[in-house]
Amino acid sequence: MSMKTGKEGEENRDLFLLNRRRFLSLSGILGLGFISGQTDISMASAEKEGKMTYQSKDYNRLLGMEGFSETLLKNHFTLYQGYVTNTNKLMDALSQLLREGKTGTPEYAELKRRLGWEFNGMRLHEYYFENVGGKGGIDKGGKLIQKLAGSFGSYEAWEKDFRATGSMRGIGWAVLYQDILSGKFINFWINEHEVGHPAGGMPILIMDVFEHAFMIDYGLKRTDYIDAFFRNINWAQVEKRLLLHKG
């Protein structure tokens, strides 16, 4: 890709600075947790080489979690690692096509579409694994329970809705999102990995309801898996994801 010069170059630089300022501003608003504190999510990059490379995280600490067999968890970790690998492959392939001026090709379009599947498959699993492995229920005196009650009427109403969302027929994810603009909370059904995400939504609690997440241990009894999930939510981690500047 050629370097931009003149007015176009200045506009690009202004856009970069604007985006950087907005990013830093957003980071500050979100209490830095937005970047790394709220989760141990990978944002590893190899920017020195001019490309971004994601690295899979190690979640072996979850082995032994009550209600989740080692076989299930290890299979799940392997699936997750596949999403990281394929995200990197897609990013590399798209960069290559961009460098070669082949952005108008069907290959570019299909790889670009595929990125939503692989990237979200990677990221959603990271949020999921980060928000389990805890013990004990939600902090009854914490911010989250207050906020859930504010949006749903009560914690119990939120939980009922979240469980119902996760019990829907189909494969995907149940996600409690906080709307970045209003601060309100909504439970979303995310189809597969990439369909149904709210624009400007901050994932607060994520539950995998693909069959691989439970069938090894629970067969078709998804409700039993959801019970086990709730027993293992890492509420302290979930609470850290809140956008405290809102609501």
CB of 29 vs Fe ion, minimal distance in Å: 31
Least spacing, CB of residue 208 vs Fe ion, in Å:
4
Q: How far is the CB of 68 from Fe ion (least distance, A)?
A: 12
161 binds Fe ion (CB under 5 A): no
**Cα separation, 33 vs 130, whole angstroms:** 14
Smallest gap from Cβ 244 to Fe ion, in A, equals: 29
Size of the site for Fe ion (CB under 5 A): 3
**Site for Fe ion (CB under 5 A): which residue of 130, 208, 229, 241?**
208
Chain centre to alpha carbon of residue 36: 13
Spatial CB neighbours of 110, under 8 Å, sequence gap ≥ 6: none
Dihedral, CA atoms, 164, 165, 167, 172, nearest 10 degrees? -170
Nearer to Fe ion, 54 or 152 (CB): 54
* DSSP-based three-state secondary structure for 197: coil
Residue 194 found at the interface with Fe ion (CB under 5 A)? no
Strands of the sheet containing 185-191, edge to edge, are 185-191, 172-179, 201-208
- Residue in the shown chain whose Cβ atom is closest to Fe ion: 208
Q: Between 179 and 208, name the residue whose CB sits nearer to Fe ion.
A: 208
d(CA 125, CA 132): 11
Q: How far is the CB of 33 from Fe ion (least distance, A)?
A: 24
User: Judged by CB under 5 A, which stretch of 95-103, 134-142, 152-160, 202-210 contacts Fe ion?
Assistant: 202-210
Give the residue among 232, 63, 224 at the shortest CA–CA distance from 209: 224
User: Is residue 118 close enough to count as binding Fe ion by CB under 5 A?
Assistant: no
Q: Which is nearer to Fe ion, 193 or 240 (CB)?
A: 193
Piece in contact with Fe ion (CB under 5 A), picked from 47-55, 99-107, 134-142, 205-213:
205-213
Q: Where are the alpha helices (DSSP H) in 105-210?
A: 106-130, 143-152, 155-166
Question: Do 145 and 238 form a contact (C-beta atoms < 8 A)?
Answer: no
Helix (H, G, I), strand (E, B) or coil at 165: helix
Q: Check if the beta carbon of residue 89 is closer than 8 Å to that of residue 65.
A: no
- Least distance (Å) between residue 128 CB and Fe ion: 7
Task: Catalog residues that contact Fe ion under the rule CB under 5 A.
Answer: 208, 210, 213
